[in-house]
Amino acid sequence: MYLMGEEGKPPLQMSLPQAGMHAGAEAAVSSLIAHYPREIEGLGQKVVVNMQACIVWILMNEQAMPILHGDILRRIVFGEMRIGVNEGVMLEGIAEAADLPAENVRTAHMFLGDLGRVAEIALSEGLPGLRSAGLRLLSPVKPMLAEMAEDPDDVLTEHGGETAIEFKLDGARIQIHRDGDAVRIFSRRLTDVTDSLPELVAFAKSLPASRFLLEGEVVAVDHGGRPLPFQDLMRRFRRVHGIEEASREIPLKLFLFDLLTVDGRDLVDAPYRERWSRLEALVPRDVLTPRTIARTKGEIEAFLQRSLEEGHEGLMAKALDAPYSVGKRGKKWFKIKPADRLDLDGTLHDMNDPDALEHVGMGVVALFSDDAHYFMPIRRTPTPVSYSPLTLPTRGLF
């Protein structure tokens, strides 16, 4: 099999032994690493896992074999695909190859966070194996996500008249896993960042429980304790060398807001009020995210103002009876942030097919400047849209 590389680089021949699918995948990964040492260097174990998962999926699906003759696989394994097929197509392929419902495959992946492991369980253990997949300490899980809310009254209505509100932070979301003496810290994207955060490892080992999964955010702060911009946090968060010096230059503050398991008790299905209560009992008060219970719009707005004055982004609103929905976005959690509204115009559209005015391709949204008397580009629109709803603003431009 051949994998086309970058322009100017010869195609890579992958030798896939017949000893089995996983042996073949491992051999192909080794070939990829040998062929792209510069590109892979420093990307870490997650890239290697992704490579193996990609190749396992291809080997399971004969119809996918032709992509080994292009650069699509190379783009997937190096995280360069920009059209959203990376994980989704892999999971659909695993489900089809194992003849299992795609929903069960996706749910297992939310807990396991490892495409290769999901494929292995699906093929070897089937539906019972997938259904048994749950939280595993020292392995990252997909975080629960929130919807945006504009009106606090809508939040209160959705949450049954009362909601827990807490500061929304301009930081990096993390999970802290401890299993005895072993501690691992993962980012929102499930990357292992343990080595960059030694002070958090020490913190985890200082707690009275020996097995837990905490969730929170770290924020870069100045020496007065006020939040620094997110860019300063990234300078520290991604550091792999000179960490001790960086920790003095850019101290971090930990804000915890959830507890998913503790000493053998799985809390994913427990209501949020119980998870918070157990979190309060486990960690010092000074690392808890500022939080209160609100029952009126005025209470929410007052707490929002306090958050903004202290340098944070806004608020999170959480339903007190909500379980932790791993990897899912819904109305049990809301983000509340002040927003400036802009009137933008679509400009500079490129047509996908100049012979058929059916779709508008990539364009630019722009803001008109009264002072300069011209449109200032704000951002591109990456997804082609139907021409029909743009008849008025675009007619006569082509």
Taking only the tens place, the pLDDT of each residue in 40-49 is 454 444 445 4
pLDDT of residue 334: 96
Task: Provide the pLDDT confidence category of residue 116 given band limits of 50, 70 and 90.
Answer: confident
Query: Which of 304, 336, 368 is at the close of a domain?
Result: 336
Question: In angstroms, rounded to a whole number, what is the distance separating the alpha carbons of residues 100 and 128?
Answer: 11
- Specify which residues 381 forms β-bridges with: 363
Query: Of 63, 98, 131, which one is at a domain's C-terminal end?
Result: 131
Residue corresponding to tokens 């896993």: 177
- Domain of residue 209: give its range: 145-336
Number of domains in the chain: 3
Q: What is the pLDDT of residue 393?
A: 47
H helices, E strands: number in the chain: 15, 17
Domain-embedded: residue 240? yes
Are residue 184 and residue 308 in the same domain, yes or no?
A: yes
| 240 or 53, higher pLDDT | 240
Band of residue 81 on the pLDDT scale cut at 50, 70, 90: low
Q: What gap in Å lies between CA 187 and CA 190, rounded to an integer?
A: 5
Rounded to an integer, what distance in angstroms lies between the CA atom of residue 142 and that of residue 130?
16
pLDDT in tens, 353-386: 444 444 444 567 777 766 666 677 766 665 555 5
Share of the chain above pLDDT 90, in %: 37
DSSP track, 51-100: HHHHHHHHHH-GGGGGGGGSSHHHHHHTT---SS-HHHHHHHHHHHHHT-
Residues 100 and 41 both lie in one domain: yes
Q: Does residue 304 share a domain with residue 390?
A: no
Distances in Å between the Cα of 4 and the Cα atoms of 56, 63, 72, 91, 176 are 18, 18, 9, 24, 39
Average pLDDT score over residue span 47-60: 51
Spot the catalytic one: 9, 142, 168, 253: 168
The single residue listed with the structure tokens 């209470």 is 299
Strand 314-318 with 329-336, pairing: antiparallel
Is 140 inside a domain boundary? no
Q: Is residue 304 part of a domain?
A: yes
- Check if the beta carbon of residue 95 is closer than 8 Å to that of residue 102: yes
pLDDT of residue 208 exceeding 90: yes
Same domain, 82 and 45: yes
Residue 212 domain-assigned? yes
Task: Check if 168 is active-site.
Answer: yes
For 18, what's the count of Cα atoms within 13 Å in the CB-facing half-sphere? 0
* Rg (the chain; Cα; Å): 24
The verdict on 155 and 289 lying in the same domain is yes
Which of 299, 319, 336 is a domain's end point? 336
